Amino acid sequence: MDKILIKGGNELKGEVNISGSKNSVLSILAATLLTDDECVIKNVPDLKDISTMCDILYSLGIKAEHDKDFITTKRLSKSKYVAPYDLVRQMRASICVLGPLLAKLGKAEVSLPGGCVIGPRPIDLHLKGLRALGADIDLSHGYIKAKCDKLKGAKVYLKGPFGSSVLGTANVMMAAVLAEGKTIIENAACEPEIVDLAKFLIKMGADIKGYGTYRIKIKGKKKLKGVEYNIIPDRIEAGTYMIAGAITNGKIKLLNCNVSHLGSVIDKLSKIGVGIETDTKGVLVFKKKDKLSSIDLVTSSYPGFPTDMQAQMMALMSVAEGTSVITERIYPERFLHISELNRMGADITLEGNSSIIRGVSKLSGAQVMASDLRASAALILAGLVAKGETIISRIYHLDRGYQDLEKKLSLLGADIKRIK
């Protein structure tokens, strides 16, 4: 199993190109199940999760060929509706094939999904929404078994105990575009990835209004067509490189970056002393003062601070001045990276769903283990500034969400390499 070796202390400088959004690609690939026509998806990152979704599509009768930064999908069979456990268990986003299968074929059998170990993530909102559209759903033997004569538009309320569900909104939206009549999704997720999915569906011929707000209106169509579509930049990858520049006292310019998707991250980084300048080409990140300030923040649904940036921000706050508090409202158990950061000399304690980070003067290299995708990124960031060598194991998580991370960081001046 591969590992990452980092010798910390280098200031990062230069330009880095931000890849296409992983989360957008995954739901949009699932949406290609809604048409018999060929689709071409552009600006696609080369990631393990993407190849897994392509394998899932193939098991469902769709051939998805990944060439450079685009994927071409083409239907081979119209009758396959079972998404197997061996594939679905590998990532959470695979649940997104449920809605399109049900809408297109009238039946679906999808294994209960897996993914990162960041606490329980129930799919009750997905099932609630699809049942509201007329689906008959049964959970048995580890599978979601759904069927319907014809989905019918309805009013669907998707607010959960931790906010709106992004994947739940995606699933219901994809099912509703082929349902009879009008569907209204209340408390819909507003994330840029939902907007991207809606624009893709509209280009296919769907009638969707209100995307990007808490109320989405959909008028069902009988058929959708194949299209070409360009994926938005990955805002979480962008945020991670912004913190890489800040934590190393470097100066990094992010290219192919949508600033409007990074409002909460830019706001928090600016408040603690990170310099951020934007222009038509991208975002320049640099450290304005010698010691960054502490801050309190709470993760929440978009446009709030993203839970997928929580671990990276914690790594940065571990070397800031003063005491910071990070409260996790989306996945209250997403704190497995705390013990590993503490192994590197951080001073972090957990109280309920809040972490108390007391800034230290320096971190020291150590052998650490990644628990999930964003925790992996946090340990990489800590290793960039730590004194000595850091070895990070179980980095297969990184390959699920960051394309060529060690290569991009090396080009910026980091002393980092992958050990086979």
Q: Which residue is associated with the tokens 């209960």?
A: 112
Domain 3-18+233-419 and domain 22-230 have a common topology: yes
Give the model's confidence band at 294: pLDDT under 50 very low, under 70 low, under 90 confident, else very high.
Answer: very high
What pLDDT, on the 0 to 100 scale, is given for residue 78?
Answer: 87
Give the model's confidence band at 231: pLDDT under 50 very low, under 70 low, under 90 confident, else very high.
Answer: very high
Pair of tokens at residue 150: 């014809």
Q: What is the pLDDT of residues 157-210, one digit of tens each?
A: 998 887 789 999 999 999 999 999 999 999 999 999 999 999 999 999 999 999
What pLDDT, on the 0 to 100 scale, is given for residue 332?
Answer: 87
Active-site residue, selected from the candidate residues 54, 96, 116, 148: 116
Q: How far apart are CA 123 and CA 167, in angstroms?
A: 9
What pLDDT, on the 0 to 100 scale, is given for residue 160?
Answer: 83
**What integer is the mean pLDDT of 406-419?**
97
Contact 243, 310 (CB under 8 A): no
Pair of tokens at residue 351: 């109280």
Mean pLDDT of the chain: 94
Pair of tokens at residue 270: 């600016």
Pair of tokens at residue 120: 């329980």
DSSP characters over 259-309: GGGGHHHHHHHHHHTEEEEEETTEEEEEESSSSPBP-EEEB-STTSB-GGG
Question: Structurally, what CATH architecture does the domain formed by 3-18+233-419 represent?
Answer: Alpha-beta prism (3.65)
Q: What is the pLDDT of residues 100-131, one digit of tens each?
A: 999 999 999 998 875 444 444 468 899 999 99
116 is catalytic: yes
Give the model's confidence band at 259: pLDDT under 50 very low, under 70 low, under 90 confident, else very high.
Answer: very high
Nearest Cα neighbor of 370 from 362, 356, 381 is 381
Q: How far apart are CA 144 and CA 130, in angstroms?
A: 12
What pLDDT, on the 0 to 100 scale, is given for residue 114?
Answer: 57
pTM: 0.96
What pLDDT, on the 0 to 100 scale, is given for residue 88?
Answer: 87
Pair of tokens at residue 216: 């989405």
Which comes out higher in pLDDT, residue 332 or 221? Answer: 221
From edge to edge, which strands make up the β-sheet containing 367-369?
367-369, 389-393, 3-7, 415-419
What pLDDT, on the 0 to 100 scale, is given for residue 387?
Answer: 98
Instruction: Reply yes or no on domain 22-230 having CATH 3.10.20.340.
Output: no
The residues that bridge with 78 in the sheet, in sequence order, are: none
What pLDDT, on the 0 to 100 scale, is given for residue 323?
Answer: 98
Tell me the three state secondary structure of residue 222. coil
Q: Which residues contact 143 (CB under 8 A, 6 or more apart)?
A: 85, 109, 110, 111, 112
What pLDDT, on the 0 to 100 scale, is given for residue 118?
Answer: 44
Domain boundaries defined on the chain: 3-18+233-419, 22-230
Q: How far apart are CA 132 and CA 309, in angstroms?
A: 33
Tell me the three state secondary structure of residue 380. helix
